[in-house]
Every structure is written in structure tokens, then in C-alpha cells.
Amino acid sequence: MTKAKALVITGNGTNCEMEAAHACRLGGFDEARIAHISELMSGEVTLDDYHFLNLTGGFLDGDDLGSAKAQANRLRYAAVEGSGEPLVEQLLRFIGDGKLILGVCNGFQLMVKMGMLPALGSDYLKQTATLTYNANGRFQDRWCYLKVDPASPSLYTKGVEGGVYLPIRHGEGKFLVDCQETLDAIEGKHLSCLKYSDKNYQASTMEFPENPNGSINAIAGVCDETGRIMGLMPHPEAFVHRTQHPRWTREELPEEGDGLIFFRNAAQYVRQNL
């Protein structure tokens, strides 16, 4: 059986690496290493040794050029010391080898601005979408109901009935696309795997605060056509146990939080396919 190994990137403003690594272990990964981005750039750590890459939440480079834009440029144009191999080549090889990437909040912003999502036609370096300032112009910190598209190829949401309840905390979470053609392709291929919804997970909504940022078509999460690469603004790693629920002292809840299935599905996929 394959030893499932997850890698969580930290540094330059990320702040959810401990929670992400913990979620990976709870989900069934044998190893969840937290590595600073400088370790990738120096060659001390290589993506080739791992199966699941986590790009976590935070405020990369202070969001000074827009959320995650500086890190997107760093990963796209920097080279590994010594070998001279561009980091982006490692990323593309990682994807080509059938491995998994999950970007959460700042990590989702990073993936979108690199072009890794929605990656229509398997072009992982062409940016066709962005995440920008919330429609109300303010940082939002609240819990949201998220409807899952059962037809989505996303491996992370497999087995979820209805939807999930997860926290968001961001100032730039409004998902937009470059043109109607891109939006039609995302919706037509069911790549919009998560949408902000009513509390019964029956319908997506553009109403605030259920939709906290005004994302087009209420899109909260997107995957690529393989279902292995996914990004979302809500934080699944922040709800893996009942005590993380805002009403855990007042409601009877399952021991596991709604976000844990994302990591469990990833670990199962690794063991069965890699």
C-alpha cells in the first residue's frame, strides 16, 4: 500500500499551516510535512517526494500586490537553487503525475492567479479568473452553507450529500472570470463544485450574508477537469471536529466536522491511485 504523504507550504504570510497538516493526518495521511517556501526554492524539499500539496490560507506578502499575486509570480518565475529548475516545472510535473493540490482561501487566490484553476483545456498557466475585493468592501469572518454539485468531478467532495457548513475569513473572495465563455465552460463542465447556498443546501444564492463576497454565480470553490486540483475560499481545515462548530455546546453534532471529508477523500485517492 502506498504511504500517503502530504506537503503543506508555509512562509511569507500563510497562517493556517498547522491546521492543514492536522487535517491531513486526521484524514488518513501517513505524513504531513510543513515546509517553508524557501525549502522548495533551495532544493531541500521537492514536490516529487509528495502526493498531496496544500496551499493554505493567510495573507501572502501582505496582499500588497493583491491577494497572493506576489507568491504566484514567485512560483511561476523562480528557479531552484543549484539545479536551476524552475519551480513551475515541478508544479506541472506534480500535476502531470496525477497528484493532488488543494488551495484554501489565500491558496485558492494563489492558484487562480497562477492559472492553475479553472485550467480549462488543461492549461495550468493561463489565468482566466481572479478573486478580488468582497462586494461589500469589507473583510468577512462568518460561517457559510455551501451546496455541493453532485455532478462535479472534484474528488474532494465525493460522498457529500447536500452540502457542507464551513467558515470563511477573507477580504478578497469575490470570484470573477474574464469572459462569459469561461463562465459557461466552468458551469457546463460542473467545475463550480461548491456554491454559497441557503441553510438547506437547496439553492445557490447571491444574497448577503449567505454569499459573503458577491462571487459570480455564487461560486465558492472550483476544481479542474480532472477533479484532482481544487480551490475554495471557505476553510475545510478549520472544521474537522465538532468542537470547532460555533454551536457545539448547544447542538448535538457528529464528532467529525464537515471539512474532514475533503482530506479523507484525498488520502483514499492517493492510496488507491498513486
pLDDT tens per residue, range 190-231: 999 999 999 999 999 999 999 999 999 999 999 999 999 999
Catalytic residue among 17, 19, 172, 237: 237
Active site residue 237: yes
pLDDT of residue 1: 62
pLDDT score for 64: 75
Domain boundaries, the chain: 5-273
For β-strands 52-55 and 31-36, DSSP reports them as: unpaired
Mark the ranges of the chain whose per-residue pLDDT is less than 50: none
Which CATH number is 5-273 given?
Answer: 3.40.50.880
Residue-by-residue DSSP string for 148-213: E-TT---STTTT--SEEEEEEEES--EEEESSHHHHHHHHHTT---EEEB-TTSSSB---TTTSSS
Q: What are phi and psi of 151, to 5 degrees?
A: -90, -5
In the prediction, which pLDDT does 74 show? 86
**Any catalytic annotation for residue 235?**
yes
pLDDT of residue 60: 84
Q: 105, 144, 193, 223: which is the annotated catalytic residue?
A: 105
Q: How far apart are CA 17 and CA 9, in angstroms?
A: 7
What cell numbers appear for 43 in the block? 532544493
Catalytic residue among 51, 170, 235, 245: 235
Annotation says 241 is catalytic: no
232: left (phi over 0), alpha (psi -120 to 50) or beta: beta
- Helices and strands of the chain, counted as H and E runs: 7, 11
Compute CA distances 132 → 65, 95, 143, 234, 268, whole Å. Answer: 11, 26, 20, 15, 34
Report d(CA 63, CA 123) in Å as an integer: 25
Q: Are the C-beta atoms of 135 and 175 separated by less than 8 Å?
A: no
